[in-house]
Structure 1
Amino acid sequence: MIRLFRNTVLLFLIIVSGQICWAQNASIDSLRTQLTLLNKAGKIPVLLEIAEQLKPSNLSMSIKFANEALEIAKDEQYLLQIANCHKQLGNYYYELGKNSFARHHFGNALSIYNLEGTTDDLCAIFLNIGNIYSREGFLDSATYFFEYAKNRSYKYQDTLWLARSIRALGNTNYKKGDYEKTLSDYHLALSLCSDNQKYTHEKSSIYNNLGVLFSDWGKYNKSLSFYHQSLALLDSSLYQSDIGRTYNNMGNIYWYKGIMDSALLFYKKSLRIREANKDNYGMANIMNNLGMYYGSLEIYDKSLLYFNLSLKKFEQLNNRRGKTMTLYNIGSVYFETPDYTLAKKYFSQSLRIARAQGFASYIRDNLESLKEIYVQQNEWQKAYKALSSYKIIRDSSRREQNFELLAEMETNFEKERKQASLNILQNEMNAAEVQQSQTKLSLWGVGIILILILFTTYLILRHIRNEANDKQDAITPTLLRYQLNPQFINSSLNGVKELIKRDQIKESSMFLAGFSRIIRSFIETATSNVIILDKELQVTKNFFKLHQLRYPDRLKITYNIATYVETEMLAVPPFLVFPAYVYIIDNYMYRDPISIDVEIDIRKNNLSIVSNFNYQIEEHEATKDTQALYEIISHIQERMTTLNKVLKEKLSIKYKESLERNAQKSISIILSLPIKPL
């Protein structure tokens, strides 16, 4: 009877799933039929709709159709449709965990929407870019984009996106370990969600996040209650990814409570959903949890299998926190086996990433584990060193906790002291009613003194503000002088003269035209402290092309820009290294070849721009050349100091040089700039 019932249920599921697939295929076939009847402009939204319908079942096909729509939009030069295609492709790559591709497409969409003045989709894009940075462990950059989305949604009174932005900030504060602020953010986001149907999914996400937070506090029953509220709001046919995430979290709770069968059941249900959705990030997390589950049961072969699968996924996603966690877990399994050689290897790898990223808890845990290994292997000196480092980290954490406790005690003491003072004052006033007239006179006197103090304070503040304005007025001409580079103008005019002397009339005309374009760029940025990085690169390329007209074979330029650096989005101070370009080309290109290599990357959460120069120099010129270069670097540093005052930024520069025996000189100018979207 039971077998018959199971077969009946299975048959029903097959029929229902077949009907759903048939309905979906029929809808897509209908859209494909429409494509044959439409012109190019009409095909774009239909292709994007097909891509959206295929998203739940086949993301690869969604990307194919969205790319086809993008090609048509580019051919027809429909800017808004190009932006829509980039946005949709960004969403698909984000779902696949391909962060660099997703960021590239979101950046392109954002540039076009800003250009066209479109505001509808900007909050979603800013949130997605913030989520990518959060995945990669760049929490300050993530906070920047979430704050921008929050301010924008507040400005346009979009309550749904405001709630989403605040929840995203709560998630970032959770990763930073600020749980009280996290709880405040979640409650604020929940209060913005009404009972309207459009808020259902957002409320479900907030309940899920509250479940995670309370599980960290050890309040497991309350955590499960939030997870059940989250599931109750989700439509199983639309939100499989969210259901998979919640099942994983419920598995964690049952594991914490020691109900192992239920934990495994929910973990496997979550893994099936995430595999079906090709959710790489979700799979990485659930595989890590399964590794911990089997490790707690001392089934170490299965534990290692799942930890290694998780590590592979986190490496594909370039998720630093995930790699740190999984490497530590693998080391822990080998420690229990015990295989101290392999355990030491994985703890060391985890520690290296944790130190680079500042993950304090993992630094502490890895150092403690390494200390235990060195003790087991009788390597006392290394054990002592690991223990010392561990104590420094531990004591630092304790000091922070003690400072917080002292601050709280001080606040409570201050409240009690003030209350006691009020009580004493009240008693004195009751006992001194006979002196009421004198008290009134004293109060009048105090009032007059306060007015005088306030007036004096106002005068001092006005004086300080005037001084600040005077300093700003003094700084502004300095910035303008730096941006309009006179050495470049002199060098360019000499270049024109040189071409005219050689009777290269065509080249001299091209040189003058290019020179005027560059001067126009200088004038356009003369009153601005920032420029789009892409525009700066274009101006410098035009400058190099001018001087290649003079000496076609003596100037070699290469650009190495990391694929994830969005040059169209980032703002930088204009033309910082330009004086060095002008000096080297003007002084050395006329006699020997010069090579310039520009590298642009993101390092330690800052934009890094490295300019490498290689050129031939006479031995007797070396000292004079070094002095000239140091003077140029000094001017650049002076300008950066000025910009730091104006922009409140942290710009920095490094300079390196070397001279080979064959008189080949190499120099590097390294700029470190904060990541600042325009």
Structure 2
Amino acid sequence: MKRIELYLTLTNNSSCITSLQCEINFFLPLFAINCNFFLRNTHMVRKTLHNLVILTLSVFIHFVCYAQDKEDNNKEIPSVTDQSSIYNAQAKNYRKTDFAKSILYAKKALDDAETHNNVNEQIKAYMNMGDVAYFQSNIPESQIHYSSALELCKQTVNDTLKADVLSNIGSNYIHFGDLETAKVYYQDALLLYEKAEDINGIGNTYNNLGIINLYNNELQEAENNFTKSIELKKEIDNQKDVALALNNIGVLNKDLNNPEGALTYFEEAEIIYNELEDHNGMAEVNNNIGLIHFSLGNNNTALNYFKKALKHVKNTNNKKLLCEVGINCGAVYENQARYEKAINQYHESLEIAEKIDNQSLLAHSCNNIANIYMKMDNYSKSLEYLLKSEELFTAIGDQEGIALCYIGLGNIYSNMGLNEKAIEYYKLSMVVNESLGKSERLAEIHQNIGALYEFNNDLDLAKEHYEASLNINKELGFEDKIAKNLMTLGSIYKIEKKYDKAEVFYKKSYNIARQLGQKEILVQYFKNMSEIYYERNDYKTAIEFLFDHNSTKDSIINKDINKQITEIMTKYE
């Protein structure tokens, strides 16, 4: 699974009570000096003490009235008994690491702020609750909390706080796919940040507007906005946000099928995070570099980067990222047919997702476990986990996740021989992925539909879908997928008894698979080549390929390994 990060405005939880304490502390040394003077001049003590008490009381009353005035007019200064700012600060600290704790403190902050009629802290409490839902990928719930904050903004004069709320709502609309509405919210936020002369907020907003430009394929405008964002962050020497901006641009370059450009930005971000000794940042950027290599079929390189990410994330308390990187490691192991490691990794991630109550990661973990069960021909268990995954994705409104489940359901029904039902789910997934512009998924669906037509001996339609998948993967540069496409096209020509043409496709597939270490493709290659040479009456070569097939297959999974995996699965029941 991939990481896509937008700037989510972090609300400032500092309280006006701090400045009030500083003011009071400023007067304490004066009181001490006067006391020393009294000790030296006892005859003046009574009169001076009387005057000093009057002065002190006057000053205290002045500040209390000033504070009350500010609270009445601007709703910004809490009373000394108002703990909401402290609770909000605690909620902020736990937003990414302990969702339950963060929500607990945010609710305490809200209760206290409502008791003391502190509108700004009420807004921040709703923002914190919205942020938690956002980090849990529960965008609909996040929107509810942000909307509550926005309603309260009518009662505050704090322009930065208003802008923060508008900005976060804009980020939600990006997740909803409503880019025009997101843009309106960002532009409104930008006006308020500029009015407040909040350079950090302005920089964040230019970054987010750049993301909208990228989604709309407005490349020049995107470059301009990203450049403005980075320049502003450099102006205030916010190197961490410069790195985050570079990381975000890298993620979006990946989505734009520009892996080389993505790697360039990730590597620039990596340098900054390394200089800052920012373990969380290093974990995120190494995870993203790993994802680029994984998408290109470079499994070993991807795994190395994921392991680097794990090393860094273990130095933080970011359980969400730990879970994500774990899932990605499992995906590499699965791709390498190392199912024992994959199933362990997926279950570890599932347990973390349950602890932090992250519905999105729970859904992804269930989906991946379902895939392993399917590869072990345990369709009932696979279906159980897949339906649970679909339920979770639906609850949080994750259309991409739902489409992924449709593909999985199509795969299961295909393996069970229920081809019509399989095609039905593949087509459902195709509709969703087309609306999301997910070319990679469309390639996968074409491949799967082609396999069903091949099974039904409708070779022309099978070839049509296989070629459509191949063309998409060539455009995306996904070598591992290309190897699979070439293998299946070769099989069509083998069925048609066009053995020479089939062999050409098989050899192209073999060369890629050998380079990438795709053992499952190699198993298919040796089997298919054995069958071709058998048909040519070259039994010696056919047997040699058959031996290669058996030895390669045994290296992937034999009876002992199968037993181990079954035991592992039983352990997690």
Would the aligned equivalents of 1:103 and 1:129 in 2 still touch at CA under 8 Å?
yes
* 1:27 maps to 2:196: no
The structural deviation recorded for 1:366 is 2.0
**Structure with the larger helix share:** 2
Would the aligned equivalents of 1:97 and 1:280 in 2 still touch at CA under 8 Å?
no
The structural deviation recorded for 1:250 is 1.0
* 1:252 maps to 2:408: no
The structural deviation recorded for 1:30 is 2.6
Match of 2:383 in 1: 224
User: Relative contact order (alpha carbons < 8 A, sep ≥ 6): 1 or 2 greater?
Assistant: 2
Structure 1 runs (4+) deviating above 6 angstroms are: 18-22, 38-41, 399-403
Task: Quote the Cα distance in structure 2 between the aligned partners of 1:281 and 1:210.
Answer: 21
The structural deviation recorded for 1:402 is 7.2
Would the aligned equivalents of 1:41 and 1:73 in 2 still touch at CA under 8 Å?
no
Would the aligned equivalents of 2:211 and 2:252 in 1 still touch at CA under 8 Å?
no
Task: Quote the Cα distance in structure 1 between the aligned partners of 2:220 and 2:495.
Answer: 45
Match of 1:264 in 2: 423
Match of 1:315 in 2: 474
Task: Quote the Cα distance in structure 2 between the aligned partners of 1:66 and 1:84.
Answer: 16
Which of 217, 226, 240 in structure 2 is aligned with 1:69? 226
Match of 1:299 in 2: 458
The structural deviation recorded for 1:87 is 1.1
Specify whether residues 316 and 192 from structure 1 end up closer, same or farther in structure 2 by C-alpha distance, changes over 3 A only: same
Listed as ranges, the matches of 1:256-655 within 5 Å are 256-376=415-535, 378=536, 380=537, 384-395=540-551, 397-398=553-554
* 1:186 maps to 2:342: no
Specify whether residues 70 and 118 from structure 1 end up closer, same or farther in structure 2 by C-alpha distance, changes over 3 A only: farther
Over aligned residue pairs, what C-alpha RMSD do you find? Answer: 3.4
Partner deviation per Cα, 1:365-403 (whole Å, 9 max, x = no partner): 223323433444x4x55x633542442342465478679
Residue type of the alignment partner of 2:347: H
Task: Quote the Cα distance in structure 1 between the aligned partners of 2:559 and 2:534.
Answer: 33
**How many residue pairs get matched?**
386
Match of 1:85 in 2: 245
Specify whether residues 253 and 399 from structure 1 end up closer, same or farther in structure 2 by C-alpha distance, changes over 3 A only: closer
Identity of aligned residues (%): 19
Specify whether residues 145 and 295 from structure 1 end up closer, same or farther in structure 2 by C-alpha distance, changes over 3 A only: same
Task: Quote the Cα distance in structure 2 between the aligned partners of 1:63 and 1:120.
Answer: 31
Match of 2:254 in 1: 94
The structural deviation recorded for 1:317 is 2.9
The structural deviation recorded for 1:296 is 1.4
Match of 1:60 in 2: 217
Partner deviation per Cα, 1:469-489 (whole Å, 9 max, x = no partner): xxxxxxxxxxxxxxxxxxxxx
Would the aligned equivalents of 1:86 and 1:106 in 2 still touch at CA under 8 Å?
yes
Match of 2:268 in 1: 108
Match of 2:57 in 1: none
Task: Quote the Cα distance in structure 1 between the aligned partners of 2:383 and 2:256.
Answer: 29
TM-score, length basis structure 2: 0.60
Would the aligned equivalents of 1:127 and 1:145 in 2 still touch at CA under 8 Å?
yes
Would the aligned equivalents of 1:251 and 1:262 in 2 still touch at CA under 8 Å?
yes
The structural deviation recorded for 1:20 is 6.2
Which of 369, 379, 382 in structure 2 is aligned with 1:210? 369
The structural deviation recorded for 1:209 is 0.5
Moved more, 157-166 or 234-243: 234-243
The structural deviation recorded for 1:248 is 0.7
**Structure with the larger strand share:** 1
Specify whether residues 375 and 401 from structure 1 end up closer, same or farther in structure 2 by C-alpha distance, changes over 3 A only: closer
Match of 2:169 in 1: none
Task: Quote the Cα distance in structure 2 between the aligned partners of 1:403 and 1:213.
Answer: 16
Task: Quote the Cα distance in structure 1 between the aligned partners of 2:299 and 2:212.
Answer: 33
TM-score, length basis structure 1: 0.51
Residue type of the alignment partner of 1:298: N
**Quick check: which has more Rg, 1 or 2?**
1
Q: Alignment partner of 1:193: what SS?
A: helix
The structural deviation recorded for 1:239 is 2.0
Specify whether residues 390 and 91 from structure 1 end up closer, same or farther in structure 2 by C-alpha distance, changes over 3 A only: same
Q: Alignment partner of 2:354: what SS?
A: coil
Would the aligned equivalents of 2:206 and 2:226 in 1 still touch at CA under 8 Å?
yes
Residue type of the alignment partner of 1:121: G
Specify whether residues 346 and 30 from structure 1 end up closer, same or farther in structure 2 by C-alpha distance, changes over 3 A only: same
The structural deviation recorded for 1:46 is 0.8
Match of 1:173 in 2: 333
Match of 2:4 in 1: none
Task: Quote the Cα distance in structure 2 between the aligned partners of 1:401 and 1:119.
Answer: 37
Task: Quote the Cα distance in structure 1 between the aligned partners of 2:283 and 2:177.
Answer: 37
Task: Quote the Cα distance in structure 2 between the aligned partners of 1:168 and 1:19.
Answer: 25
Would the aligned equivalents of 1:63 and 1:89 in 2 still touch at CA under 8 Å?
no
Which of 291, 296, 299 in structure 2 is aligned with 1:131? 291
